Amino acid sequence: MTVWPDLSTDVAAVLATLPAEPDGGAVEFVWEDENGVITSTIADASEYQELTAHVAGARAAAALSLYVDERDPLFTAVLPDRDGFLRARWESG
């Protein structure tokens, strides 16, 4: 389980953080639509224009890096395996 910071209500600012160059890489884009439904998708630079149109009217959004070392969750936890052993430790950001 990973707990992320709140989505930003400044959706335009989040969209502005997307890499501009064609090889800028992909991001996980998360948004809350006008009905409160939270959705995410993986998009690369070739899909940003379509993504921008798709999230028009969104209440909030976030763009998350796909690179693990660039992601900074508030909290990460792992549940015990079926045998009851915890094979990972909790980590807070």
pLDDT, one tens digit per residue, over 16-73 is: 988 776 666 788 898 999 999 888 898 888 888 898 898 989 999 998 877 666 666 5
> Is the distance from CB of 18 to CB of 47 less than 8 angstroms?
no
pLDDT, one tens digit per residue, over 34-50 is: 999 888 898 888 888 89
Q: Please give the residue that has the higher pLDDT: either 82 or 36.
A: 36
Evaluate if residue 15 carries a pLDDT over 80: yes
Token pair of 35, please?
């009905």
Q: Give me the residue label for tokens 């992909």.
A: 26
CA dihedral 45, 49, 55, 60 (to 10 degrees): 50
Q: Where are the beta strands (DSSP E) in 1-93?
A: 2-3, 27-32, 38-43, 60-65, 75-76, 91-92
Q: What is the pLDDT of residue 68?
A: 62
